[in-house]
Amino acid sequence: MTEQKIRVLLAKPGLDGHDRGIKVIAAAFRDAGFEVIYTGLRQTPQMIVDAAVQEDVDAIGVSILSGAHMTLFPAILDELKERKAEDIILFGGGIIPDDDKAELEKLGVSKIFTPGAPTEEAIQFLKCEVEARKEQ
């Protein structure tokens, strides 16, 4: 009897300490039946990817409110490539201008959620994306 659960790692990379948003997401994911691994504040891209590999998660979600998104997202993508773990979905949220958002999604970030996005949207996104990757 197989019992699969969607596993998501949530982390705050970099130096900003505003973790209210990511805690809201963590609670919403938990209530959606996901297994949420919460790693907390001030994570380096290397720590995040290392944890994601150990926890064998389907996705990594990061919240960046510091403005360093154009550095941190690509660094996480690089790290994923290095660990041959590009199959792990990377998504994120934060105060991110539209131009940067497009750029990041082009680089390989699956989705960026900006302020005001309902949590249900993120839940549906993850369900669909995880399902799609499993079929590949």
Partner 1 sequence: MSLLERFDEGEIRALSKIVSLIENREEGYEDTLGHLYRKIGNTVRIGVTGPPGAGKSTIVNRLVHQLLKDDKRVGVVAVDPTSPFTGGALLGDRVRMNEFPIDGSFYFRSMATRGEVGGLASSTDNVAVAYDAFGFDVTLIETVGVGQVELDIIDTCDVVVVAVVPESGDAVQTMKAGLMEIADVFCVNKSDRPGSARIVADLRMSLELGNQSRDWWKVPVVATQAVKGENIDGLLEKILLYLSVARESGEFERHRRQQLEKKLWALLQDQITKEMQDKLSKMARIDQIVDNILNGNSDPFSASRELFQKWTDSVS
Q: Where on the chain is the footprint of partner 1 (CB under 8 A)?
A: 1-5, 26-27, 29-40, 43, 46-47, 50-51, 53-56, 83-85
Cα separation values, 94 from 44, 50, 113, 119, 121, Å: 17, 22, 7, 13, 15
CA proximity to 13, closest of 58, 74, 57, 56: 74
Amino acid at 98: D
Smallest gap from Cβ 129 to partner 1, in A, equals 18
Query: How many other CB atoms are there within 10 angstroms of residue 135's CB atom?
Result: 5
Helix (H/G/I), strand (E/B), else coil: 17: coil
Smallest gap from Cβ 38 to partner 1, in A, equals 5
Smallest gap from Cβ 54 to partner 1, in A, equals 6
Nearer to partner 1, 81 or 114 (CB): 81
Smallest gap from Cβ 96 to partner 1, in A, equals 25
Nearer to partner 1, 87 or 98 (CB): 87
Nearer to partner 1, 80 or 104 (CB): 80
Provide the 8-state DSSP code for 12: E
Burial of residue 45 (CB within 10 Å: 0-12, 13-18, 19+) is buried
- Residue 76 token pair: 């996480």
Nearer to partner 1, 83 or 133 (CB): 83
